[in-house]
């Protein structure tokens, strides 16, 4: 009988998994309920899933996931209220589906639509969802100002970010609100994200933490870069969550394994171990920081670590740019524990 991951990490952070309704029944749901105490919808709570058209409000799948969180006493991370991809494009378009020009009237229209949507959704899940990815992937470190060139940005500048946080907070003042992004270990991206988060907070915008997606692979990026980013936000008083962790077995686009060599799975196990050791160490730093500094947090620096899936039969990394199968999660296709699972166990036991 395997030890439960959520129990092993109970003193540190919640252990979450991305799910869809089809993961909530059968053998995979037994793994979910045993090892995880937090869930997030992989797709069902995105704006494009809930409101693909102005008159649409589809929450059937979202509610199945929310109900599972309630029934199993799991926290619910809500992903996401705003994203340039899989978004509610109608909010940014006219009745004919053309993108709106950047005029003051259109900006006001977008503001109203966004606030109405967020108010409705956050009110719906008030008392059920604990954390929200309020905005997802708004940073583009390749641009001079670091802001992604989305239609949100073209029409409203950076105001849409503030509106989103304020509307979420107004609808549920207890909700914890995050800005979520990938490659947050990259120093340039990290610094753009940091400047945005701190300037929002300085303006009085209710932002509580940073979501680090953490889609990594068996050799990169370095654990040190991941760590330095978390530390930078934590020392400024932001909570940190790992929101979409997976560890691809591939380091380049060319290679394809069939079967996957044992040494690759072993390498993956060490990678999970090193990462989780560092996450535990970082979490502890918050508890032992000088109480007179913003770095001090009796709950630790990291509140939740969510995997982007449960077992290798369900991962977005399959067939990316080809037909190869990936295996980025701690349980295999037969729902057996991998070295990655044991890496997580050994990390927290300090073995």
Tokens 């709106």: give the residue.
100
Taking the least distance from each CB to ligand G3I, the nearer of 130 and 214 is 214
For residue 85, the minimal CB distance to ligand G3I (Å) is 5
* Cα–Cα dist 229/245, whole Å: 15
Bridge partners (DSSP) of residue 19 are 41
* Cα–Cα dist 48/25, whole Å: 25
For residue 260, the minimal CB distance to ligand G3I (Å) is 21
Size of the site for ligand G3I (CB under 6 A): 9
The CA angle 149-150-152, to the nearest 5 degrees, is 125
Find the helix packing angle between 187-202 and 223-235, rounded to 10°.
Answer: 10
* 85 binding ligand G3I? (CB under 6 A): yes
For residue 213, the minimal CB distance to ligand G3I (Å) is 5
Helix (H, G, I), strand (E, B) or coil at 13: coil
For residue 176, the minimal CB distance to ligand G3I (Å) is 19
Residue nearest to ligand G3I (CB): 316
* 86 binding ligand G3I? (CB under 6 A): yes
For residue 121, the minimal CB distance to ligand G3I (Å) is 16
Taking the least distance from each CB to ligand G3I, the nearer of 158 and 248 is 248
Tokens 């503001």: give the residue.
111
* 172 binding ligand G3I? (CB under 6 A): no
Say if residues 134 and 165 touch (Cβ distance below 8 Å).
yes
Helix (H, G, I), strand (E, B) or coil at 17: strand
Taking the least distance from each CB to ligand G3I, the nearer of 137 and 172 is 137
Break the chain down into helix, strand, coil percent, rounded to 5: 40, 15, 40
Let me know if 244 is a catalytic residue.
yes
List the one residue from 37, 183, 213, 217 that touches ligand G3I (CB under 6 A).
Answer: 213
- Give the x/- contact pattern for ligand G3I in 30-69, rule: CB under 6 A: ------------xx--------------------------
- 143 CB neighbour count, 10 Å cutoff: 12
Taking the least distance from each CB to ligand G3I, the nearer of 63 and 198 is 63
List the one residue from 140, 172, 244, 312 that touches ligand G3I (CB under 6 A).
Answer: 244
For residue 316, the minimal CB distance to ligand G3I (Å) is 3
Taking the least distance from each CB to ligand G3I, the nearer of 201 and 215 is 215
Bridge partners (DSSP) of residue 241 are 211, 304
Q: Torsion over CA of 80, 139, 183 and 46, rounded to 10 degrees?
A: 10
Which tokens in the block code for residue 323?
Answer: 């037909």
* Cα–Cα dist 181/3, whole Å: 31
Taking the least distance from each CB to ligand G3I, the nearer of 12 and 182 is 182
Catalytic residue among 244, 262, 274, 284: 244
* 181 binding ligand G3I? (CB under 6 A): no
- 94 CB neighbour count, 10 Å cutoff: 12
Bridge partners (DSSP) of residue 345 are none
* 316 binding ligand G3I? (CB under 6 A): yes
Q: Which residues bind ligand G3I (CB under 6 A)?
A: 42-43, 85-86, 136, 182, 213, 244, 316
Catalytic residues: 244
């Amino acid at each position: 009988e395997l030890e439960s991951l959520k129990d092993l990490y109970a003193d540190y952070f919640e252990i979450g998994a991305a799910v869809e309704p089809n993961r909530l029944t059968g053998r995979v749901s037994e793994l979910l309920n045993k090892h995880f105490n937090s869930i997030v919808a992989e797709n069902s709570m995105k704006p494009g899933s809930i409101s693909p058209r102005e008159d649409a409000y589809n929450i059937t799948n979202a509610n199945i996931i929310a109900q599972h969180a309630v029934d199993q006493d799991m926290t619910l991370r809500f992903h996401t209220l705003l994203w340039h991809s899989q978004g509610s494009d109608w909010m940014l378009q006219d009745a004919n589906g053309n993108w709106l020009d950047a005029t003051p009237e259109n900006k006001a229209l977008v503001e109203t639509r966004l606030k109405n949507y967020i108010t409705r959704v956050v009110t719906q899940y008030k008392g059920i969802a604990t954390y929200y990815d309020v905005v997802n992937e708004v940073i583009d470190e390749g641009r001079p100002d670091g802001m992604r060139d989305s239609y949100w940005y073209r029409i409203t500048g950076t105001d849409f970010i503030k509106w989103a946080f304020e509307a979420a907070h107004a609808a549920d003042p207890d909700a914890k609100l995050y800005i979520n992004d990938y490659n947050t270990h990259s120093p340039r991206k990290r610094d753009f994200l940091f400047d945005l988060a701190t300037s929002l907070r300085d303006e009085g915008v209710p932002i509580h933490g940073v979501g680090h997606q953490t889609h990594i692979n068996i050799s990169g990026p370095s654990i040190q870069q991941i760590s330095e980013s978390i530390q930078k936000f934590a020392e400024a008083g932001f909570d940190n969550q790992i929101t979409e962790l997976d560890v691809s077995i591939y380091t380049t686009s060319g290679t394809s394994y069939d079967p996957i060599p044992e040494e690759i799975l072993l390498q993956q196990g060490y990678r999970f171990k090193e990462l989780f050791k560092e996450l535990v160490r970082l979490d502890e730093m918050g508890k032992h920081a000088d109480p007179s500094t913003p770095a001090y947090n009796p709950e630790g620096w990291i509140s939740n670590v969510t995997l982007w899936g449960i077992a290798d039969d369900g991962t977005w990394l399959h067939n990316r740019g080809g037909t190869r199968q990936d295996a980025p999660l701690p349980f295999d296709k037969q729902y057996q524990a991998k070295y990655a699972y044991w890496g997580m166990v050994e990390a927290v036991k300090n073995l």
